[in-house]
Structure 1
Amino acid sequence: MSKKKRIIVITDGDEYARKTLDYLANELGGTCLSYLSDNPTVVTPDKVIRAVLKAKEEPVYVLIDDAGIPGVGAGEKVLLALKDHPDIDIIGAIAVAAHTKNMEWTRFSFAIDRYGQLTANGVDKEGVSIPEIGRINGDTVYSLDQLDLPIVIAIGDIGKMHGNDDLKKGSPITRKAIELILERGEQFGSIKRKSPSTE
């Protein structure tokens, strides 16, 4: 019996998110399917599943984005297909906040504000804490909240947050979110992180 492919879902697919996740996959290990991401998502669930199953390194980072489309958009259809696949295991998700008009929301395990601090409060697109405890608004989180995922980390807009998550700084907020998911994966023996470079 083959092992399931472990993936991390990120609910953002714009250019900043693609560049950030490509960089962090190289730094932390894994395969980023940034070439399949878009804003909004246009790729089919079948194509994403095939790419996940062919990926050589884990975790596999899958970026989905509904760009404000209400309800279950193309990105969330990909999410649901991944969750239902018998050979794929979603080990965690990064829920990205947005100024969504349709007020989709999701609960989360932890949030990280734009200063890198863990908080029980939600965060907005700029990574600023909001009064809401335990949930955030986002474009692509409607179905995320319906799934029983091991860990969901809420953050502001990837690669932005008033420059605090800039790629030139190593995207520390997004990096911390991934590290929290990987630490949980290590704790339960589902995945191992890339060893730090000795160069």
Structure 2
Amino acid sequence: MVTNEFWLERWQAGRIGFHRDEVNPWLIQYWPQIGRGAKVLVPLCGKSADLLWLANQGYDVTGVELSPMAVVEFFGDNDLTYQTEQVGSLKVHTAHGLALRIVEGDYFDFHETGFDACYDRAALVAIPEEKREQYVLHTKQRLTPEATLLLITLSYDGDQAGPPFSVLDFEVNELWGDWIRKLASEDLLQLDERYQSHERTFYEESVWRITG
């Protein structure tokens, strides 16, 4: 069962194999051309370096993250000072000298609107199938009608009990609608032995985009 406690325990135990220290190359290659100052939402952001990359491009970046440990490590790893404000059930951590903040708490308790773009590298694949429709609807409600989305997914066969979950192409289209387009994909079985299994014939990472 993937619950909030599951994720908090993963961070406490250091079981964060999903984290990458480097900026995601898909982000650098496929981030859409939108104006500086645009508001960018990053759900379930962890302590990703992608947040800093987006902020350094001139965007107003808001990450949302459940784990307080992830938040503290993000600011510490990047030598950023910040201030914290309690807003309802959420804590808002705002960096000094940079248009970047991380909202600490349950993503479904985050109700701010008006975001011009969304970057989802590890959120949809962390959501169990029965909650994905709720997650996408909640995310759409945070965005402007003309907003753009960059989404990275995984799809694979064989058994895997926990996240990251496989999200097949037809599911992406059903969840995000006719405007989403697959831009690229690669089979990680050919690139990294960690994904190889006698049960598995493919382990594909794909990048998708909606351009408003």
TM-score normalised by the chain length of structure 2? 0.34
- Larger relative contact order (C-alpha < 8 A, sep ≥ 6)? 1
